[in-house]
Chain A
Amino acid sequence: MKSIYIVSYSEFSGKTAFALGLALCLKDEGISVGYFKPISVGTEIRPGRFIDQDVALMRRVLGLKESMDEISPPIDVRIGTYSFGKKFLEDPDYYRNRIIDAYNKIKEKYDFIIIEGRHRIQSLFTYRLDSVTLSKALNSKILLVSNGIIDDIMLQKTLIEGMNAKLLGTIFNNISPRMVERIKGELIPLMDRFNLKFYGYIPENIELNSPTAEEYHKALGGQILVGKEHIDRLVESAHIGAMRTESALKILKRYRNYALITGGDRTDLIYPALETDVALLILTGNLYPDIKVLIRAEEKKVPVLLVNHETSVTYNICLTIKARISPRQKEKIKLIKNSVKENIRWKEIFKDA
């Protein structure tokens, strides 16, 4: 049995997407792949019921037989570190042992297990439940998923080596075209010099990075007035339309697949904005728009979402919306697999693990 422990320096680095892509590539080769997440992150799906969406996704897509709790032992970090800390003071090994036990139960069932770390490399460091410490406990090599900031990578390397854990190497994820030249010209030679193995980079992909209009709806609540059938449209960015029509259009014309946040009474702005590359209309303050706006939006296949929040609150919520992968999104999952297959030396990862 082989395994890797996927670790990153910051949130939203794309660990889960990479894990999923790698697992699917290996499965295609006939390798049985398991997934383990030592510390889960719960989202409350209904009162009192928390699930980790990453775990649910991997379990569904990889067709894993284990229960959610077997893949990720329930450890209630979400209840706050205060009680967590108290537990640690009583019995420092309590959680650690539970994790090791759970891992031991599944590890022999697979040829290869992908272990996914918590958001950041240092999370739960105080309680010796951070990714580096756990990688040693689970006897697994660390693979860093990074966005190419070399100082962050070197810091992690030093930490891992200083703690006597094993570092497999690194991959870069979500790399913009303008970074490519720097990676080839500067970063790869640098990583070579410091003896850090580099398995490749995955280019930025709008389709993977952009949340859908539906994700905006989930985050903002409110009511979809028209365009329910286009709710899977990708939204690349969100912009407030609060200025004079002409000034606003000058800016809005520069964006593709954007969400326009404005009051429902701004017919003067919404109407011409429907002729731009808009993907979602978010009308704030519960101001129902002119019916003609809805007709035009429907013709243009643009969903219209009416929300209660005022404009600035809406915008702030929009900033927190991230693209998620749902097991239903077959095309997106295929895209994830192909992006790993085409850009990462994944066979080598398996060999080196």
Chain B
Amino acid sequence: MKLDTFFNVKSIAVIGASNNKRKVGYAILKNIIDFGFKGRIYPINLHEKEILGLKCYSSVLEVEDEIDLAVFVIPAKACLSIAEECGKKGIKNIIVITAGFKEIGIEGARLERKLLAICKKYDINALGPNVLGFIDTQNKLNASFTNVFPKPGNVALISQSGAIITSSIDWSIPENLGFSKIISLGNKMDLNETDFLEALSEDPHTKVILMYVESIDEGQRFIEVAQQVVKKKPIVAIKAGVSDAGARAASSHTGALAGSKVAYFTAFKKCGIIQAKTLEDLFNYGMALSTERTPKGNSVVIITNAGGAGILATDAAEEAGLKLTAFTAEEVELFRANLPKAASIHNPIDVLGDARADRYKFVLETCAKIEAVKGIIVLMSPQAVTEFKETTDVIIDFYSRNAHIPLVVCYLGGLSNQDAMHRLRTHGVPCFSFPKDAVQAMAGIFKYSVILQQESERYERFGVDKSSCDTIFRKVLNDNRLVLLESEAIQVAKYYGLPTPETRLARTPEEAIEFANKMGYPVVLKISSPDILHKSDLGGIIVNITKPAEVRGSFNTIIRRVSKRMPNAKIYGVTVQKMIEKKGKEIIIGANKDPQFGHLLMCGFGGIYVNFLEDVAFRLNPVSRKDALEMLSETKVYRLLKGVRGEPPSDIESLIDAILRISQLLTDHPIINELDINPLLVYRKNEGVSILDIKITLKREEK
């Protein structure tokens, strides 16, 4: 595998190692030594004989042994010649800590391109530039300039921000949390998040992968890889830059292209990545998922010694998609017989403020025997008689004996329970200070269990005429256009089996009359010009034309109006379309090509108020039948389609077929940049659908 040696370094060179304590070159070498790296260490510096007790070399070429990894802590300009030397030495992995590349401007970007070219020439894996470094706790390698050392653990962290890493480590130490690998991605000149996901999926020491993401570089590959990784271990990601202002901040941070947030969210969903909204969520999920306990359902029991905390946890559980287990009469009876009268014996179970360890023990053991309980949330607040130590012993014992039951703990407060919390975490029990965090963590493991149960998607294929569409697209490009005329777009829809009204492009009034006579009245006439986006705004549409004389008049009126209002528009003629009189529900189906992730498919409430109602849902293409239904059910219009106020239900099956055919159209034709069907009329059940208006825009391949 590509990063095998990266994750198993036996010898390391620090190029730019220094005796000057204020330099990063000193900090890195010292971190490597102090963290206890057992392999060979070679400081490289032209002017030094010895650094930190190690023999210093003037170049990697002077070192006789093999070097697995070289860390660059030298000025940006020097990186090119040093990379050449590394290439000649046969070093296959480098970390460029050095800043002063793409993030500082044009000159830096050019330098970075040159450095990449050298790495490609020698087949070098390069992390960075502009990174904090890389930490591998199993190998006791800390090739970074962190000020503190992380504890070993089974959580891997990939971050595009170095400061997020240092703060996370700093926070993790008192919280008693450990890491397996920590990777700072920086400018992602060569190695990116996908490379490390791939490598971490094979790393036996990593059970959960946490990601701090500003941008993703190879969107399509990322999805393919992540979909495979989540089958083995959970990935939790936080996407920074989701607000407009945040996106601007991200774009000027690491020089990342912050894509549309919808694209990122749908991409994460498609991969089965659990999304964290805040950094707290990220680590809460991480802590819970690192236990590798997956619930068989979302039914949980909450055990508390304080009513208020129980209510808060219950609220949070509902919001997070968890269900409180409903006990049977016998189970209730069992609790009633063994708990004080005042105790609440329905879920949440309130064991009361005077509960000692034995009461917790009884409830825990009983819950373990109840089949319907798939997870346990234990809450404990500091009260006069609360036995933190003893109860903690009970929980640790219970936890180790019941490896199949996901369990999270919340010790409310801070002063009285520090030791207890620390002990729980040492024994791998996820423990939090606030009810909401504990519930979130449980919800995280539940989410992952759902992801694991998902069958791989099946994408349906319909019999379509792909090559005729290719011909139309070629013709459009040869005509120096990107925009299809409506008559062409309708034809494309037809080739993909989508129901469309009969449509012809007429160049003269006579032709228009001939077409109208053939298709039958009434007809609609529309201006045909690639330069006009909103035809009706310019008076370019006349509907309900019932006889030949009206066709002639309308043809001329449309041409006159449009020529007057938009004299420079290229007019190809007038589209004659059979008017659809049948009423149906108006739906919009659209697609947009995201530069990173490909086609983003959208559907929802159509018609003229689309932009105001914003009742739409998104998925990344391709979509399965299940995706299509799920996407529809996220919209409000879905309830209308099912029939409200005594209305009969609409033809949802045909609508889903239409979505799937459009999905296939997009898959078959990456050249489509944008597609807009608005409205698509959905008739009553078994009566089908019909496209009223369709727009397609193409994208030329970049040279």
Question: Are B252 and A277 closer than 8 Å at their CB atoms?
Answer: no
Q: How far is the CB of A71 from chain B (nearest CB, A)?
A: 35
- Check B482–A254 contact: CB distance below 8 A: yes
Chain A residues, Cβ within 8 Å of B700 = 256, 277
Q: Is the CB of B255 within 8 A of A295?
A: yes
Total chain A interface residues with beta-carbon distance under 8 A: 30
- List residues of chain A with CB within 8 A of the CB of B244: 268
A251 B482 Cβ-Cβ under 8 A? no
Q: Which residues of A contact B674 (CB under 8 A)?
A: 250, 253
Please state if A251 and B533 are interface contacts (CB–CB under 8 Å): yes
By beta carbon, the residue of chain B nearest A255 is: B482
Determine how close the nearest CB of chain B comes to the CB of A105; give it in whole angstroms.
44
Inter-chain contact B507/A295, CB cutoff 8 Å = no
- B91-133: CB near A (< 8 Å → 1, else 0) gives 0000000000010111001100000000000000000000000
A296 within 8 Å of B (CB atoms): yes
Specify which of B102, B530, B595, B702 is in contact with A254 (CB 8 Å cutoff). Answer: B530
Q: Which residues of B contact A275 (CB under 8 A)?
A: 257, 595
Contact A253 B106 (CB under 8 A): no
Task: Tell me, in angstroms, the Cα distance from A176 to B573 when the chains sit together.
Answer: 13
User: For residue A292, which residue of chain B has the nearest CB?
Assistant: B255
Contact between chains at B252 and A181 (CB < 8 Å): no
Question: What distance in Å separates the Cβ of B220 from its nearest Cβ neighbour in chain A?
Answer: 15
A contact face: mostly helix, strand, loop, or mixed: helix
Counting chain B CB atoms within 10 Å of each CB, the highest count among A236, A256, A295, A296 belongs to A295
Q: Which residues of A contact B690 (CB under 8 A)?
A: none
Determine the main DSSP class of B at the interface with A: loop
Chain B: CB-nearest residue to A256: B482
Closest chain B residue to A291 by CB distance?
A: B105
For window 199-249 of A, CB contacts with B under 8 Å fall at 204, 206, 226, 236
Contact of A295 with B697 in the complex, beta carbons under 8 Å:
no
* Contact status A176-B109, CB under 8 Å: no
Chain B contact residues (Cβ within 8 angstroms of A): what range? 20 to 34
List of A residues within 8 angstroms of B105 by Cβ: 291, 294-295
A226 touches B106 (CB 8 A): yes
**B residues 444-503 with Cβ under 8 Å of A?**
479-483
**A13, CB-defined interface residue at 8 Å:** no
User: Contact between A253 and B482 (Cβ–Cβ < 8 Å)?
Assistant: yes
With A253-B482, A254-B482, A277-B699: A292-B106 Cβ-Cβ less than 8 Å: no
B673 in contact (CB, < 8 A): yes
Q: Encode A279-295 as 1/0 by CB contact (under 8 A) with B.
A: 00000000000111011
A296 to B573, CA, bound (A): 40
Contact, CB under 8 Å: A296 / B257 = yes
Give the distance to chain A from B600, nearest Cβ to Cβ, in Å.
13
| Across-interface contacts of B23 in A (CB, < 8 A) | none
A182 CB within 8 Å of chain B: yes
> Shortest beta-carbon distance, A339 to chain B, in Å?
15
**A267 adjacent to chain B (CB < 8 Å):** yes
Q: A236-B480, A253-B482 are in contact. List 19 more A-B contacts (CB 8 A).
A: A176-B570, A178-B570, A178-B571, A206-B480, A250-B533, A251-B533, A253-B697, A254-B482, A254-B530, A254-B533, A256-B482, A256-B700, A271-B258, A277-B700, A290-B251, A292-B255, A294-B106, A298-B106, A298-B110
**Chain B residues in the interface with A (C-beta under 8 A):** 102, 104-106, 109-110, 244, 247-248, 251-252, 255, 257-258, 479-483, 507, 530, 533, 570-573, 595, 673-674, 697, 699-700, 702
Of the A-B pairs whose beta carbons lie under 8 Å apart in the complex, a sample of 25, sorted by A's number, is: A182-B507, A204-B480, A250-B674, A253-B482, A253-B673, A254-B482, A254-B530, A254-B697, A255-B482, A256-B480, A256-B481, A267-B248, A268-B244, A271-B257, A275-B595, A277-B482, A277-B700, A291-B106, A292-B251, A292-B252, A292-B255, A294-B105, A295-B106, A295-B255, A296-B257
- Give the 6 A-B CB pairs with smallest separation, nearest first: A295-B109, A291-B105, A275-B595, A254-B483, A178-B572, A292-B255
